[in-house]
Amino acid sequence: MPGRFSGRRVVVTGGAAGIGRACVDRFIDEGAEVVILDHNGEAGERVLAEIRARGKDARFVALDLSDSAATEAAAKALDSELGAIHVLVNSAGLVHVDGRQSNPFVERGLAGWDPLTTVNLKAIAILVHGMLPALTAGRASIINISSEAAFKARSDRWIYDMTKAGLLSMTRSMAAALVSRGIRVNAVAPGGTITEMHLNDSPDPEAKRAEMEKQKTASLLGRLARPHEIAAAITFLASDDASFITATTLQVDGGLQRLG
């Protein structure tokens, strides 16, 4: 039976790992033609090999979103080559700067401002603008991946949190700007999710996974999310099932924001 995305072309940034990778698998399983954008060429080729081993296929484009000129060139090239893009998932994001998980305002000031704002905000605007003819041709759905961090007050990760909050405003503005072109724009704000990003930051990834699995107070559901659960929400917003939803943020956080 044909999937929801049969005959549709989907572009996923950050598609070589984590939530982006889960989206790639979900879209492919539902019949889409998928283009993966990721800065990690080795991981991208590994994902392609795994997809092809399942009898499926995809395309991989290595792209460093911190390079605005390269991002603009890639967006224009994809716009020209693909002709029509039906879904764009902006999943790629930068969390750490210079290997630091903490970036306190008082101690470090604006350190990290440029790389975080470039990847988490500017690159998304560049991609959407550069691909606009193809997105319009596909009457596309754009999904921007924010974070539950957009709703937090943290002094030590303030720039990251600010970019994720800013992305929600950008989503609403893009939705208003692109509605006349038949393009819907929404955001997903995941709660804590067990991904390679968190595991690879630890000297003992398996111990870190076990620790994360035990975080019973991480949400009302008493656990962290798995990437495929976030991907399910993203594919819903991308599908015709969400045809009357735009300029909206879907919080996929297990009830975290309502946790007493």
Question: Which residues are catalytically annotated?
Answer: 160
Residues in the chain: 260
Supply 10's token pair.
């989907």
Question: How far apart are the C-alpha atoms of 208 and 217, rounded to whole Å?
Answer: 16
Residues 131 and 90: beta-carbon distance below 8 Å? no
Question: How far apart are the C-alpha atoms of 179 and 176, rounded to whole Å?
Answer: 6
> Residues 6 or more apart from 100 whose CB is under 8 A from it?
112
DSSP, residue by residue, the chain = ---TTTT-EEEEETTTSHHHHHHHHHHHHTT-EEEEEES-HHHHHHHHHHHHHTT---EEEE--TT-HHHHHHHHHHHHHHHS--SEEEE------BTTBS---HHHHTTTTHHHHHIIIIIHHHHHHHHTHHHHHHTT-EEEEE--GGGG---SSSHHHHHHHHHHHHHHHHHHHHHGGGT-EEEEEEE-SB--HHHHHTSSSHHHHHHHHHT-TTSSTTSSPBPHHHHHHHHHHHHSGGGTT--S-EEEESTTGGG--
